[in-house]
Amino acid sequence: MRRAIFPGSFDPLTLGHHDIIIRGIPLFDELIIAVGVNVDKKYMFTLEQRLGFISKAFENEPKIKVLTYEGLTVDFCEKVNANFILRGLRNPADFEFEKAIAHTNRKLSEIETVFLLTSSGKSYISSSIVRDVIRNGGDYSGLVPETVRTN
């Protein structure tokens, strides 16, 4: 079975994340959206909210599972028997950062990282930008899926 995880904090889930997930579904038998928990990080949305955004957005997709994890992503991959890590790339800076992580993960385990480029119309969207728009009362409806807008 080709099982992949798509790790992130998803604070919140954006249309960029959604794009990578939708395009990743046909590549794998199962895609686990792995919501990382970092006790040192301040989140705008609670873990329950973030899980709700994702679960609701993909409730009709049987190949998607939503789980949480702490610690190293490669350890979580081993725990859930995932063979792949799916990552999205928006720009050259993302590539350099993600390449270093992929090389490190490969050094620590046998896990392969699969990169997908975000669709051109979504490549500018990041969770940090969305949080800034929300904090400042801006219209973020074109940046996130419906499940985030209705919360």
45: region left, alpha or beta (phi > 0 left; psi from -120 to 50 alpha): beta
Domain with 81 in it = 3-149
What does the pLDDT read at residue 34? 98
Give 116's contacts (C-beta < 8 A, 6+ positions apart). 20, 23, 24, 86, 87, 88, 89
pLDDT at 145 over 90: yes
Give the mean model confidence (pLDDT) for residues 70-84.
96
Give the mean model confidence (pLDDT) for residues 13-24.
96
Q: How far apart are CA 23 and CA 19, in angstroms?
A: 6
Q: How far apart are CA 9 and CA 128, in angstroms?
A: 11
Give the mean model confidence (pLDDT) for residues 12-23.
96
The enclosing domain of 42 has a CATH number of 3.40.50.620
Q: How far apart are CA 128 and CA 108, in angstroms?
A: 29
Q: What is the pTM of this model?
A: 0.93
What does the pLDDT read at residue 151? 61
The string of pLDDT tens digits covering residues 84-125 is 999 999 888 889 999 999 999 999 998 999 999 999 888 899
Which of these, 111, 110, 21, lies nearest to 58 by C-alpha position?
A: 21
Give 117's contacts (C-beta < 8 A, 6+ positions apart). 88, 89, 90, 123
What does the pLDDT read at residue 137? 94
- Positions annotated as catalytic residues are 17, 41, 90, 127
Distances (CA, A) of 94 to 10, 18, 65: 16, 17, 25
What does the pLDDT read at residue 84? 98
Q: Return the residue matching tokens 């705008």.
A: 44
What does the pLDDT read at residue 116? 96
Q: How far apart are CA 125 and CA 133, in angstroms?
A: 11
Quote the number of domains for the chain: 1
Q: Three-class SS of residue 101?
A: helix
